[in-house]
Amino acid sequence: MRTLEKIGESVSARTASAAGTIAAQPRLHAVPVVLSDFEPIDVTEPRDQDELKLIQAHFMTLAQSAARGITASAEREELGRALRDRMARYGASSEHIARRQVSVLTSRFVKPDPNSNVEGVRRYGDLRNSTGEALDERMDLFEEVACGVFSRVYRDASANPPDDIVHVSCSGYVSPSPVQTFLSQRGWLNVGVTHSYHMGCYGAFPAIRTALGLVGASHVSLPKPKRRVDLVHTEFLSLHFDLLSDEPDNFVTSTLFADGFIKYTASPLAEFQQGDRGGLKILTIDEYILPESLPEMTLRPGPLQFDMSLSKRVPFMIRDSISEFVTAICEQIGLDFEREKCSMVFAIHPGGPAILNQIRSRLGIDESQIALSRKVLYEHGNMASATAPHIWQHIVESPEIPRGAKVLSMAFGPGLTVIGAVFEKI
C-alpha cells in the first residue's frame, strides 16, 4: 500500500510529464512587519482634570437651562450645583487622570465673554448654540481638525509620500474623508487610502492588521512591494460630549475620554532595518467577541453627537475572559504565557482604572508591568483608538525595556470585542 507522500510524488511526476516543462511555483514567505516612527500631535494644550470637570458642569448648566427654559439666576445656580455634585460623584478622579486634551473648548462652538455678569460664562465662555451643536456641524469641525492634523503630520511637502495611509477614527465621518481631502490638496494622488472607522477603543488593532496585510500581501502577490504604510488616528472625542444628559454614565464618559491624535508607520522588517530606530515587530493578532455581551457597550450616531453607553459590567466581563484569551494568543507563537509572563511587557488599553485593576489581578502580573498603561491614562485620558499607539510609543522609547522583549497588547470595545497582539521590541 503506497503512502500519501508516494502518491503525491507519482501524481506530480505524471502532471509534469503530461505538461512538459512547468515553471516552478515560488514558495510564499511571510514578510515580517514593524511598527515605528510614532508621532503624537497636540491640537490644543491639555488642561487639568479638575478644571475640566468644572468646565463641563458649566456648559451642561447652560445647555440644560436653555432646554428647560430656566432663566432665573437662582434656579440656574441651583441646577449648576446639582450638576457639579453629580460630576464630583461620578466623574473620573484626577487621581487617575491628571489632564486631558479637550479641543472643542477652543473651537467656534464656544464664545468667550469676559464681560459677562455670570461668573462661569466670564471664565469659560458661552455656547454658540444654547443646547449644543447638531451632528452635521460637529462633523464639519471634525473634518477641519482632522485635515489640520494631516497637514501637520506631513508638513514637509517635498518628502516622499507613503505607499498607503490607514485613517483610524471612531469620532468622525465625512466623505470625501479628511485623508482624501489632504491627499488631493497635496497632489499625492497615488497614495492608497483605507478607512478604519467606528470601532471605538480597540480600533488600532484592526488598523495594524490591515497594514500588515497591505505590506505582506504586496511582497508576495503584487509587482510593486509596499515599503511604507502610515497609520493616522484622529480621535476628536470631546466633539461628542453630551451636555443634556444627567445620567451617571454620561459624567463617566465625559470625564474619561479625551482627544488623541497620532501617526506611526508599518514597514517590512528589511526596510525598517535600514534606519537607526526602535520598533515593534508584529508577531500575531487575534480577537474574540464575548458571548451575550452586545448591549454592554454601544456607540451610535445621535441627533447631536455620537451617543455612547457603557455598562458597569464591562470590567468584570473582560476579567472573566482574559486568561483564556491571552493563553490562546501566546500559544499561536509558541509562548507559554504562565511561564513567560514575568518577563513580558503589557500594553493594556486603559479603558478606565477598573479595567486595568481587574486584568492585572486576574493575570497575576506585577503593577510595574502595566505602568505605561497607567501613565498614558494619567497624562492623556482615554483617547479611544489613539490610546494603544501612545503606549506603544513609550515602549519603543523606554531604555528600561530591552530589545527582544515580548509585548502583549490588548484593547476592548463594542461587541464586546477583546482584541490583542503580541509584539517583539526590536
Q: Please, which pLDDT band fits residue 289 given cuts at 50, 70 and 90?
A: very high
Is the separation of the CB atoms in 239 and 106 below 8 Å? no
CA distances from 210 to 120, 195, 266 (A): 46, 10, 10
| pLDDT at residue 309 in the model | 82
Phi/psi of residue 6, nearest 5 degrees: -65, -40
* Burial class of 313 by CB neighbour count within 10 A (0 to 12, 13 to 18, 19+): middle
| Domain boundary assignment for the chain | 33-42+135-272, 47-127, 279-425
Kindly state the DSSP code that residue 259 receives in the 8-state scheme.
Answer: -
Cα–Cα dist 407/333, whole Å: 13
**% of the chain exceeding 70 in pLDDT:** 93
H or E element that contains 189: none
pLDDT bin (cut points 50, 70, 90) of residue 20 is very low
Q: Which of 409, 410, 400, 406 is nearest to 426 (CA)?
A: 406
pLDDT of residue 275: 83
Grade residue 28 by pLDDT with cuts at 50, 70 and 90.
low
Q: Give the residue-averaged pLDDT of 325-354.
A: 95
Average pLDDT over residues 304-321: 87
The pLDDT of residue 128 is 96
Residue with cell 487621581: 95
Cα separation of 166 and 155, whole Å? Answer: 18
Rounded mean pLDDT, 193-207:
96
Q: 366: burial class by Cβ within 10 Å (0-12, 13-18, 19+)?
A: exposed
- At CB < 8 A and 24+ separation, what contacts does 247-251 make? 248/86, 248/89, 248/90, 249/90, 249/309, 249/310, 251/86, 251/87, 251/89, 251/90, 251/91
How would you classify the pairing of strands 164-169 and 229-235? parallel
Angle of helix 73-90 relative to helix 248-256, nearest 10 degrees, comes to 70
Mean pLDDT of 99-128: 92
- Whether pLDDT at 21 is above 60: no
pLDDT tens digits for range 391-418: 999 999 999 999 999 999 999 999 999 9
Q: What is the mean pLDDT of residues 325-345?
A: 96
As a whole number of angstroms, the distance between CA 119 and CA 116 comes to: 7
Closest CA to 343 of 365, 321, 371, 319: 365
Please report which confidence band the pLDDT of residue 8 belongs to, taking 50, 70 and 90 as the band edges.
Answer: very low
Give yes or no for residue 141 having a pLDDT over 70: yes
| Mean pLDDT for the stretch of residues 302-324 | 88
Q: What is the pLDDT of residues 33-73, one digit of tens each?
A: 999 999 999 999 999 999 999 999 999 999 999 999 999 99
Two domains, one topology: 33-42+135-272 and 279-425: yes
pLDDT attached to residue 45: 96
Read off the pLDDT of each residue in 6-31 and give the average, rounded to a whole number.
Answer: 46
Q: Give the number of residues written for the chain.
A: 426
33-42+135-272 belongs to which CATH class? alpha beta
With a cut of 80, say whether residue 22 has pLDDT above it.
no
Q: Pairing relation of β-strands 33-41 and 260-268?
A: antiparallel
Rg of the chain (C-alpha set): 25
What is the pLDDT confidence band of residue 362, given thresholds at 50, 70 and 90?
very high
Percent of the chain with pLDDT over 90: 81
> Is the pLDDT assigned to residue 19 strictly greater than 70?
no
Q: Which CATH architecture has domain 279-425?
A: 3-Layer(aba) Sandwich (3.40)
